[in-house]
Structure 1
């Protein structure tokens, strides 16, 4: 018993360290990306201002720069994004006026605002209230600034904005983890079946709920869905009271495939139609696999779906070297996402 408590504490300490490291890494990568894009915009503007001929052929110049940068550094440098960088510097010619607390997505959203004072107001509000880029977009689209300055009763308008922000800030990505660590199962390294993992998780349900994170409650195992004389069976079903939605889990041995994603997509659609109530948010599908596939994650509906996710599970606590590799992998993914 004491050993279990000690192991749980060790796992929690390492998990907290990883979460903090990811947050610091994300902030560092974001700061570098924002500053880099500002400097790219500065170079483009200064080059265009160097002579009338370059200004006249500005479009061709951007296409030339885009081709060269894309060839060497990959996506993220198309002419549209280069125009955004140029606009970034034009709007904020003084670097001291730029805050690295905001992401590149925040700034692209702010570019839509024509009036400087309104843009500055939304910028400061985003920083002060820790708005996500989605929350900022929502507030601008709902004319929060205009409604606030034209209203005699400002508190109800502010409270409404806060509620909308809360709704947007917590998403499935905030709740689901990757990877999950199943060292408490003591799984054998060979001759393992998916049903063995499922049974082991049920036998250790309390520890599995702790590993899943906050707000989860167990609902069902091998949940049967009958549609048009065809039966489908979902390995595990949970409910998250923070997200107010069901979580469907499919356990897979080996590498993630497109078939796995298609199957989970079917489960989620059926569950949404026949099982969830009107008060529930859309169902989430999580494929737990022993090996992820970057290709499947990038070129399937997983890439942009708000309901389908995949995570890797580890049968043991990773070594120091594996933790370093995981952080390097996270850094590469963050860099790719920010392009």
Structure 2
């Protein structure tokens, strides 16, 4: 018995050593990232000044790239396009407009370490949840200095954000979101293509009162639109084809749902009385510590679908949920949902449920830009 206690004690101490290693490794990674960003900032600023004064032209930038390559072949990452990306990085993020946007939304009310509950419909408060414990220094840089908010993600991600996002609000959102979800470039690309910005900061009409009360931060954790373009589904398809496709591309599907989802089973059997029922897909959400049942529909949402889902949630809570876990959550995933019908169906539901639509193909860039512009107008004209 004594030896067992000694072993446990040693394991605990070894675990503390691992924690120290990981803490310093994380700090080292942040320091390296900061220096890479500062390098891009100062190189971009230097070249930008030369171009704006017309002392240099595009030909000189090409010559600079060739000079670096010939004189210092050990220095990588300074092709002509890379240097212009650094100029873009400096020009866009050193603008007064970007600094004003950061200061506007990340003031003292929204950068406290403690996360408050979302009590209003204002998108900026939902963005505050994503910020989490962002340090106060990110708000206002000194003149000529790189804004601290840029340190929250990598240069590669910044270039992706700058090239694909037009408004400063959208850019700021993806910087914060990439930091929160630890997004690599490919994951960030998909989030931008799938309009995570508008999906996460959109309407809550697709969520029941029960979900919003039990999980106040649900609006920034669950999307109301998921894109399954990777399935190449025909317009007419069966629920089994949809389910099998998602099972075969589970990694991509979980990236769509969110990183905290863990897949548990398909057609999960629920034995109730003498009958057996099957939930299409069952997940566990690590962040919320709750089971999540996903019901797949090949046709548009019908209110009767909600009754079936609530029945499954009751069975999960009674017979499957563990005592340390939170109430189970239900998602109906359908190709179409009339917003008025959804709002009526959700208004009295006290079960933690929501309706999400899946899209077979990505929304065209032109339409995405139009929707983004409309949202930004609402975002900027909030009360």
TM-score, normalised to structure 2, is: 0.43
Q: Report which of the two has the higher share of helix.
A: 1
